[in-house]
Structure 1
Amino acid sequence: MLPEKNKVLVLFSHPLLEKSRANRLVLKSYLNRDDITFHDLYERYPDFNIDVEYEKELLLQHEMIVWHHPFYWYSCPPLFKQWIDMVLEVGWAYGPGGDALEGKSIMQVITVGGGYQAYQESGYNRFPIREFLRPFEQTANLCKMNYFPPFVIHGTHRLSREQLMEYSSELVLFLDNWQDIQYRPNLYQHTYINDLLKKITNDK
């Protein structure tokens, strides 16, 4: 049975959530909220047998889609990639007649083991996070969706509980205000949406 219609759908995918202190804490930002549908792909599909029609109906019922996942090998966990391959079908999500998701908003929330400096041109990984996320951004563009800058949590293994709580607070701020944030003229000037959220907090 589909959940009641909410504005925000969180598609969460983490194969080892029990080992992720950062994600277990940040997930509390979504729970017990009437305006958010939280959908754990690994919990629902442990056999990777995705119910494509159910997933399509979920997408249709929501205005903001959040892809929340750890940053595995410069990409996403395998079940989430399978979800993209199977659910976002030609003729439905893109291509001739594929306008089911047109105008919806989408944002990635990702947890990254490496620090911010490691994801610079002069850093260990040689490229900024946004470059690694280009395939996801282009997927959203192909589906005529409004792709927000990502919400990124760097250096997850070294963050204190207090630091993780700060990230959680910023994420809650976004979830509470995303409908207004999407119209801010400088939204796409930010590499991460975290930067904009910090500015909003400081301006209050």
Structure 2
Amino acid sequence: MSSVLILFAHPALEKSRTNRLLLEACRSVEGVTVNDLYEEYPDFDIDVDREQQLLLDHDYILLHHPFYWYSSPAIVKQWEDLVLEHGWAYGREGKALVGKKILNVLTTGGRHEAYEEGGYNRFTMQQFLAPFDQTAYLCKMIYLPPFVVHGTHRLSEPEMRRYASQYKSLLTMLTTDQIDLEDAKTRRYLNELLVD
């Protein structure tokens, strides 16, 4: 059985119906640890030793956050800058994360078609996520496609609950080692692996 660490970051969770439901769904999956970065570090004073130990203790790392200005909320960048230290996460001696799997779990206000070349946002989600992909590569981790909930502003309650159910299914598949990593890497989104 694999373990999953969710690095959750939402600076205004009280305003996010979708992320609240996603978070609720994942808390009941055995083998999943939720690390709410804004709750844990309201002053951005990140405990590097604690965070590094959490990474060592888990097989999968999920960066779960809203897609703010084509990236992540500020605390995710702060976390990366402090926790992924040279000599620990990367560099000649940095081997702590080799082989661990990492992916983004994202919510966006924009619809799926807005994230196409030539679409409203001009670039694909994979193109926007290139810095995360490269970070994983530098740390010798396995970067997987994202799980994405698009168009959150227009989702009905049943649609949000369907995404929450899919997220829970994904987490269960990860913890019970039901994901074929080679197949998963060929997908645009991990959502494609999930059936309602």
The answer to whether the 8 A contact 2:61-2:100 is kept is yes
The answer to whether the 8 A contact 2:29-2:168 is kept is no
Q: How far apart are residue 186 of structure 1 and its match?
A: 2.5
Q: How far apart are residue 120 of structure 1 and its match?
A: 0.8
Q: How far apart are residue 34 of structure 1 and its match?
A: 3.3
Mapped pair 1:134 → 2:130: yes
Superposition pairs of residues 154-173 of structure 1, within 5 angstroms: 154-173=150-169
**Which position in structure 1 is the counterpart of 2:101?**
105
Runs of 5+ in structure 1 lacking a partner?
1-5
Mapped pair 1:189 → 2:177: no
Q: Which has the higher contact order (CA 8 A, sep 6+)?
A: 2
For 1:159-186, what per-residue CA distance to the aligned partner results, in whole angstroms no more than 9, with x for missing partners?
Answer: 0111111111111111111222144x42
**Which position in structure 1 is the counterpart of 2:178?**
180
- Cα distance in 2 for residues equivalent to 1:13 and 1:144: 23
- Cα distance in 2 for residues equivalent to 1:28 and 1:106: 21
Q: How far apart are residue 33 of structure 1 and its match?
A: 3.3
For 1:141-171, what per-residue CA distance to the aligned partner results, in whole angstroms no more than 9, with x for missing partners?
Answer: 1111111110000000100111111111111
Task: Indicate the RMSD between aligned Cα atoms, in angstroms.
Answer: 1.2
User: How many equivalent pairs are there?
Assistant: 193
Query: Which of 75, 89, 92 lines up with 2:71 in the alignment?
Result: 75
Q: How far apart are residue 119 of structure 1 and its match?
A: 0.9
Superposition pairs of residues 15-30 of structure 1, within 5 angstroms: 15-30=11-26
**Which position in structure 2 is the counterpart of 1:12?**
8
- Cα distance in 1 for residues equivalent to 2:28 and 2:183: 31
**Which position in structure 2 is the counterpart of 1:122?**
118
- Cα distance in 2 for residues equivalent to 1:17 and 1:57: 26
TM-score by length of 1: 0.91
TM-score by length of 2: 0.94
Please identify runs of 4+ aligned residues in structure 1 that moved more than 2 A: none
Q: Percent identity?
A: 53
Opposite residue 50 of structure 1, the aligned amino acid is I
Runs of 5+ in structure 2 lacking a partner?
none
Compare 145-154 and 33-42 and name the one that shifted more. Answer: 33-42
